[in-house]
């Protein structure tokens, strides 16, 4: 995808015409079984556009209930764990350069939910799609505070998906 020569095209029309490089199908933990969605990675020459569409996020229906969820790529190779921690084997945040949080390559913008749904798209040069294939992408119950080391105090892992090649 050539983003630099896009002229008057919107990013949305560019993404609609592009082939994804990778995809993760998100599923909720046993405590949050209604969470599901997809995260799609579109590789560019210098970075990647990431699009997330998530449904079934926790929502109580209050007028101020617009929760924010931590969203990270982790370094483990699996969405498995124990009964108490279903995604414990997801490992720490993906951090190939040894940076402090929130500069890990796997530190992604938080998901802002609306009545249990979240959609976002963003661009990052912190990673490339081929480098994260096989890694888990995690949704956490709480917002990332962007300060606490090593992982932003974002709490319980409530959903996970393994990033797979889309080719």
Q: pLDDT averaged over the chain? A: 90
Say if 160 falls within a structural domain: yes
Task: Tell me the pLDDT tens digit for each residue of 125-147.
Answer: 999 999 999 999 999 999 998 98
pLDDT for the residue 12: 64
Domain presence at residue 48:
yes
- Could you tell me if residue 14 is inside a domain? no
Residue 104 lies in a domain: yes
pLDDT tens column, 45-71: 989 999 999 999 999 887 777 899 999
151: which 2 tokens?
């992982």
* Residue 113 token pair: 């939910």
Asked whether residue 36 is assigned to any structural domain, the reply reads yes
C-beta neighbour count of 153 within 10 angstroms = 15
Q: Beta strands of the chain (E only): which ranges?
A: 22-28, 36-43, 48-55, 68-69, 71-73, 111-112, 118-124, 136-140, 157-165
Close Cβ partners of 152 (under 8 Å, ≥ 6 residues apart): 70, 101, 102, 107, 144, 145, 146
Q: Which domain CATH number covers 137?
A: 2.60.40.200
Question: How would you classify the pairing of strands 48-55 and 68-69?
Answer: unpaired
Please state the pTM of the whole predicted model.
0.89
CA distance linking residue 135 with residue 90, whole number of Å: 8
Range of the domain at 38: 21-165
How far apart are alpha carbons 123 and 11 in whole angstroms? 10
Domain membership flag for residue 9 = no
Cα–Cα distance for residue pair 161/52, rounded to 1 Å: 12
Contact 148, 102 (CB under 8 A): no
Cα–Cα dist 126/103, whole Å? 9
Query: Do the domain assignments include residue 77?
Result: yes
Asked whether residue 32 is assigned to any structural domain, the reply reads: yes
Report whether pLDDT(3) > 60. Answer: no
Number of domains observed in the structure of the chain: 1
**Rounded-to-5 percentages of helix, strand, coil across the chain:** 10, 35, 60
């Amino acid at each position: 995808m050539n983003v630099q020569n896009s002229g008057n095209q919107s990013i949305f029309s560019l993404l609609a015409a592009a082939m994804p490089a990778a995809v993760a199908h998100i599923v909720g933990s046993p405590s949050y079984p209604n969470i599901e969605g997809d995260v799609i990675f579109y590789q560019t020459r210098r970075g990647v556009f990431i699009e997330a569409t998530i449904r079934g996020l926790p929502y109580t229906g209050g007028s101020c209930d617009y929760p924010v969820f931590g969203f990270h790529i982790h370094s483990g190779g699996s969405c498995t764990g124990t009964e108490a921690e279903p995604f414990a084997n997801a490992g720490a945040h993906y951090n190939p350069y040894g940076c402090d949080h929130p500069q890990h390559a796997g530190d992604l913008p938080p998901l802002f939910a609306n009545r249990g749904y979240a959609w976002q798209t963003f661009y990052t040069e912190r990673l490339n799609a081929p480098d994260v294939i096989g890694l888990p992408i995690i949704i956490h119950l709480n917002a990332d505070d962007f300060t606490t080391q090593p992982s932003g105090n974002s709490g319980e892992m409530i959903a996970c998906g393994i990033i797979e090649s889309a080719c």
